[in-house]
Amino acid sequence: MKINVIGGGAIGLLVAAKLGRFHEVRLLTRTQEQSRKIAAEGIFIAGSVTQVYTLPFDCFQDLKETDVWIVCVKQYDLKAVWQELKQHAETAVVFLQNGMNHTDLLREEDVTYPMIVGSVEHGAMRMDARSIEHTGEAAIRLANLTGSYADELAEQLHETDFPFLYEPDWYKMLGTKLIANAVINPLTSIYRVKNGELLAHPSFEKVAVMLCREAAITLGFEEKQQWENIRRIIQATKANRSSMYKDIQAGRKTEIETISGYIRKHAQQAIPYTDFVYYSILGLTKQQERTNP
């Protein structure tokens, strides 16, 4: 397949490198500098290098005969990227973003090609412009937002060591992940602890339970089932720092708007715990910006 991957962050590099072993992958990056670096040296993961064709995003109109687009930019960058891409895309587009804000945006669009949303369960951390550390091997799940191509695409992309799995219900797939992110990400960032600490201290766990309840009620999910899923994720990633915690430490913008912000946008009842973590993360981000101008 001819696959265009948009985004040179950790997930974009991971997807481009893993799929580049079996498909013709073109990676579109934000900057000319990153594009040149990858073109010269390839993408480095776990001691191996994968060569992929790369170019900056503002040159993407030059790409022809594309089978599928995979968009790996952060949620807060997606709107601008999509405004450009939708004028040129003629084949299926896959969106691999955290949160669910993008579904509100995309469901308003009138396009003829399939739009597919994905849930990335891998852990990955970008070390430099062309290197990542694959911190957790899992799967990428795909579901149809519009059209009916996700099952076929998952089968075409699936590899034993880099699985793609089809999910029939996009809302259940993304909602389950959103609820987990709405608990783990802000709390570990506020408390400045690794994931496992949320279950190691009864006081932390009580707040986590309340956040889970608010998110589950808002999205229409069963609370007990969601809390069991969150406990499983925390135990499996107990030694990890959440992506939001790492973003704040590095002085980067967080995805709080697309996680807790989405719950606030859709809540029909009071959600005091979610409001608290939402405004706390905004405050911590501003504090970090002042510390690291």
Residue 114 has pLDDT above 60, yes or no: yes
Task: Report phi then psi at 193, rounded to 5.
Answer: -135, 165
Please give the mean pLDDT across all residues of the chain. Answer: 93
DSSP code, position 61: G
Quote the distance between the C-alpha of residue 15 and its chain's center: 12
The phi-psi region of residue 119 (left if phi > 0; otherwise alpha if psi is between -120 and 50; otherwise beta) is beta
Give the pLDDT confidence score for residue 292 in this predicted structure.
62
Give the pLDDT confidence score for residue 129 in this predicted structure.
95
Taking the C-alpha atoms of residue 211 and residue 205, their distance in angstroms, rounded to an integer, is 10
Give the pLDDT confidence score for residue 137 in this predicted structure.
84
What the chain holds in terms of domains, given with CATH numbers, is 2-168 (3.40.50.720), 172-291 (1.10.1040.10)
Give the residue numbers marked as catalytic.
177
Residues shown for the chain: 293
Residue 266 has pLDDT above 90, yes or no: yes
The pTM of the full predicted model, rounded to 2 decimals, is 0.92
- Name the band, by pLDDT with cuts 50, 70 and 90, for residue 291: low
Give the pLDDT confidence score for residue 88 in this predicted structure.
85
- Check: CB of residue 126 under 8 Å from CB of residue 11: no
Give the tens place of pLDDT for each residue, 52-85: 999 998 887 777 789 999 999 999 999 999 998 9
Give the pLDDT confidence score for residue 293 in this predicted structure.
56
- Check: CB of residue 161 under 8 Å from CB of residue 184: no
**Exposure of 48 in the CB half-sphere (CA atoms within 13 A):** 7
Only one residue has tokens 């501003």, namely 286
Q: Which of 53-67, 182-196, 244-258 has the lowest mean pLDDT?
A: 53-67
Percentage of the chain beyond pLDDT 90 is 82
Classified as helix, coil or strand, 63 is: coil
